[in-house]
Structure 1
Amino acid sequence: MVRNYCKFPNKFTLAVIICEIIILVFFGVFVRYDWEVGMPKPLNKNYTEVHAKETAEEHVEHYYSLFQDIHIMMFIGFGFLMTFLKRYGFSSVGMNFFIAAFVLQWQTIIHGWIDTFEYYETLIESDFAAAAVLISFGAVLGKVSPIQLLIMAAMEIVFYEGNIKIVIGYIGATDIGDSMTVHTFGAYFGLMVAWVLYKKEVHDAEEKEGSVYQSDIFAMIGTIFLWICWPSFNSGTAVDEGRVRAIVNTYYSLTASVITTFAISSLVDKKNRFNMVHVQNSTLAGGVAIGSVADMIIQPWAAILTGMVAGVVSVLGYKFLTPYLSTRLKLHDTCGVHNLHGMPGVISGLGSILAAGISYPYLYENGLTKIFGDEAMDTSLNYRAGMQAACLGVTLGIAMFGGLMTGAVLKIPIFDHPIGEQIFDDEDYWIIPVDESHHRPAVDGEEMGPTFSKI
């Protein structure tokens, strides 16, 4: 197998420095604190300094605990969930850390430009954007270089924010748990990138694509953190009684997906054993599937049914669909994001169409406008259902188009696509704790040195 040693560092370092300088300049020119937390109060508003202080404090109290939970999901949940690859753990959690931090800055700029410099209320939205990129990362995990990942993140945020502007800003759809705009978008964007970048070499590296006992335990840390914090993700931007419904519905849907995952995982195994891949991922599918309807008035039984359906679909996807996509369609999905985020996200979108179609005003009373917008009382059930259908369709279209375009850019040779033994392997990208008894051959005149022990 071929190793392409040391091509990326200088390019990667240069690209990162340039990106960060650009972001610094853009922040200096375009980003300011709102007047309530650090700017002189506007002359045309009759607010007192005391009122401004109370408003800022209330804003923090309202959002910060939820923001912490969602932040944990991005940096611990997603990061550790991807550590199942036995030789790619450093890149899984490390590049997750790096890319999430980059997106938090870059999305602030892009959001302001696309949303016509409108004030940005909460950093939670930046974490949602990071989630979309990290989901896409899962589809190409182990198969892209650091510089490719940086470029993918930068490009994806542009498409992501454009989609948000269209489906939420113009169409007027609702997606409180972001199952369509984050999970569905991130999954199908990443899948299209993976399809464009597909190389037969990925099958030659199948031995390294697997896990070991310890790596699967580390991945379960990510699962548990995601599972615990998911109600905050789905309720982060909900208001009033809608937030209560979002928390409760997510809670029950997640529990149902856990129970169903264990049952179906045992069923599809010839020896009736549990599969840790299913437990790490499909147990979370209920959180995705309930997202778009989380704050709508659906009874707890509907949330449980949603979680059950998501668990079944996800496990069957890992068992049958993922191998089919890889061998027949040349679409290799490292983390199975299609099964955890893609299909459950579509289920959520379809559920939101149904829920909007029965959103009778008498069910919501004064709460209808809080979910479907100020004009909800003047629109029909079919119109509201149509907005949800349009959101799902447009999101799928933009995600796939954006993924194809991004994949085409990443194929440019200058971006150092991993080859040979670099696939699913940390060795060329990280300083690995060494076993002094193991050495790799010198390459291009470099001195022989220790490397890590192969498992």
Structure 2
Amino acid sequence: MPSRYRNFRNSVPWLILSLEAVFIVLFYFVFPYDDKLIKSYPAFQDVNHMMIFGFGFFLMFLKRYGFSTTGFNLLLIVLGVQCSVLIDLFVLLLQRQSKCHLARLIEAAMSMTAVVISTGAVLGKANPVQLILMTVLELIVFRMSRWMNNTFLLVTDSISMMHVHLFGAYFGLAISSCFSEPSPRTDKNARTPKSDLLSMLGTLFLWVFWPSFNSILSDRKWRVIYNTYFGLAVSAVTAFALSALTTKDGKFRMRCLNPPLKLHDTSGVHFTFGMPAVLGALAQVILLIITNWNNLPSMGYLVMIQVGAFCLTISIALITGLIAGLILNLRLFKSIPVSKYFEDQFYWEFPHLAVGF
């Protein structure tokens, strides 16, 4: 184990310091600040709370991986938002377009949601170097996916950004397929009442701030907030009802769904984010058909655009996720042994044992 610690000591600090130095130089030369749209800051703050507190606690269900979950989540977010802003800036320069700097920061924070979702699929299995590299690769590919949707399918920014859940879930699942699966007899990825309580707290944060996330780029904010809130309300009621109906004793319990894929998905991103995104895309198509039933040419075009954007996004996510997974598992990036999965002690100093977390 000491040799492994030396490897991370010699790689992680220099990697993040090098990235930060590059970010500082680039921001100084190509990112002048302004105070336009400062009224959008409360909405940006909601998205920030959702990512840091919401996902930070939501993923804290592993009994021995709480420090790594919240710590790496914060590290990836602060590095990733800077990286995403610069990627978006270069794309806009190539397209000879301009955009308010706060709007860029908001979109960068939203793009990081895809990375955080993907992280859930490899939680406890990927080391910090792999997670940082995954963040940079995914942000580049997700921005490319949005650009293709905007350019070839003429999908608006607000609609293409809603594919963040779809992209993040299936990109993460494709990467997870390249990692070794933990032994089915291990209990290190088990939960405790305390860790489940923290995860539920994160779920509440996500629930509260999700309307802001959905509406922040929309021109019809109140309509989106209205629909999102009541959609969440119906989903919560249905979840309580199904939880009681599917247990033998009629009691509520956390995460009662079985993984639908023969693939180790640490935090269940497939049924938490992937399947809802698929069902949401299907619902959108159905609603378009109902709304434009009397205008068949318009209906056919709109349906084709929605289906095309969905297929393009999920295809890019799966293909590039698989390639990224193969890259991350190169010997250069020192994958951790399966016996050390889901262990805080592999990365953090403890004055006491992590057993009982």
Cα 1:162–1:424 shift into 2, 3 Å = same
Please report how far the alpha carbon of residue 119 of structure 1 lies from its aligned counterpart in structure 2 after TM superposition: 2.4
Cα 1:206–1:179 shift into 2, 3 Å = farther
Corresponding residue number in structure 2 for 1:232: 212
Gaps of 5+ in 2: none
Q: Distance in 1 between matches of 2:288 and 2:56?
A: 35
Q: Distance in 2 between matches of 1:186 and 1:133?
A: 6
Matching of residue 413 in structure 1 with residue 345 in structure 2: no
Tell me, yes or no, if the aligned pair for 1:180 and 1:348 is still in contact at 8 Å. Answer: no
Cα 1:418–1:204 shift into 2, 3 Å = farther
Post-superposition CA distance 1:132-180 (Å, at most 9, x none): 0000000000000001000000000010000011113431225746675
Superposition pairs of residues 146-161 of structure 1, within 5 angstroms: 146-161=128-143
Q: Distance in 1 between matches of 2:286 and 2:355?
A: 54
Tell me, yes or no, if the aligned pair for 1:180 and 1:349 is still in contact at 8 Å. Answer: no
Corresponding residue number in structure 2 for 1:221: 201
Q: Secondary structure at the match of 2:304?
A: helix
Tell me, yes or no, if the aligned pair for 1:82 and 1:138 is still in contact at 8 Å. Answer: yes
Aligned amino acid, residue 156 of structure 1: E
Corresponding residue number in structure 1 for 2:176: 194
Corresponding residue number in structure 2 for 1:272: 250
Please report how far the alpha carbon of residue 24 of structure 1 lies from its aligned counterpart in structure 2 after TM superposition: 2.1
| Equivalent position to 2:83, from 85, 88, 106 | 106
Corresponding residue number in structure 2 for 1:60: 38
Please report how far the alpha carbon of residue 32 of structure 1 lies from its aligned counterpart in structure 2 after TM superposition: 2.3
Post-superposition CA distance 1:23-48 (Å, at most 9, x none): 223223332235xx4xxxxxxxxxxx
Corresponding residue number in structure 1 for 2:163: 181
Cα 1:270–1:178 shift into 2, 3 Å = farther
Cα 1:119–1:143 shift into 2, 3 Å = same
When the two structures are aligned, how many residues end up with a matched partner?
Answer: 350
Post-superposition CA distance 1:240-276 (Å, at most 9, x none): xx21211111111111111111111222222222222
Please report how far the alpha carbon of residue 204 of structure 1 lies from its aligned counterpart in structure 2 after TM superposition: 4.9
Corresponding residue number in structure 2 for 1:348: 280
Corresponding residue number in structure 1 for 2:186: 206
Cα 1:259–1:3 shift into 2, 3 Å = farther
Cα 1:277–1:170 shift into 2, 3 Å = same
Q: Distance in 2 between matches of 1:178 and 1:103?
A: 19
- Root-mean-square deviation over aligned CA pairs: 2.3
Post-superposition CA distance 1:53-87 (Å, at most 9, x none): xxx3xx222x1221111111000001100011000
Q: Secondary structure at the match of 2:124?
A: coil
Cα 1:80–1:70 shift into 2, 3 Å = same
Gaps of 5+ in 1: 38-55, 279-317, 363-376, 436-450
Superposition pairs of residues 254-265 of structure 1, within 5 angstroms: 254-265=232-243
Please report how far the alpha carbon of residue 195 of structure 1 lies from its aligned counterpart in structure 2 after TM superposition: 0.4
Post-superposition CA distance 1:382-430 (Å, at most 9, x none): 1122111111000001111110111011011121212143201100101
Aligned amino acid, residue 5 of structure 1: R
Cα 1:195–1:255 shift into 2, 3 Å = same
Tell me, yes or no, if the aligned pair for 1:140 and 1:194 is still in contact at 8 Å. Answer: yes
Whose Rg is larger? 1
Cα 1:238–1:86 shift into 2, 3 Å = same
Aligned amino acid, residue 289 of structure 2: G
Please report how far the alpha carbon of residue 205 of structure 1 lies from its aligned counterpart in structure 2 after TM superposition: 6.6
Post-superposition CA distance 1:8-35 (Å, at most 9, x none): 121111111221122223223332235x
Q: Distance in 1 between matches of 2:325 and 2:21?
A: 25
Q: Secondary structure at the match of 1:430?
A: coil
Tell me, yes or no, if the aligned pair for 2:125 and 2:341 is still in contact at 8 Å. Answer: yes
State the structure with bigger RCO (CA 8 A, min sep 6), 1 or 2: 2
Tell me, yes or no, if the aligned pair for 1:137 and 1:149 is still in contact at 8 Å. Answer: yes
Corresponding residue number in structure 2 for 1:136: 118
Matching of residue 82 in structure 1 with residue 64 in structure 2: no
Q: Secondary structure at the match of 2:343?
A: coil
Corresponding residue number in structure 2 for 1:94: 71
Q: Distance in 1 between matches of 2:226 and 2:2?
A: 51
TM-score (norm 2): 0.91
Corresponding residue number in structure 2 for 1:247: 225
Aligned amino acid, residue 14 of structure 1: W
Corresponding residue number in structure 2 for 1:20: 20
Cα 1:453–1:335 shift into 2, 3 Å = closer
Q: Secondary structure at the match of 1:427?
A: helix
Aligned amino acid, residue 140 of structure 1: V
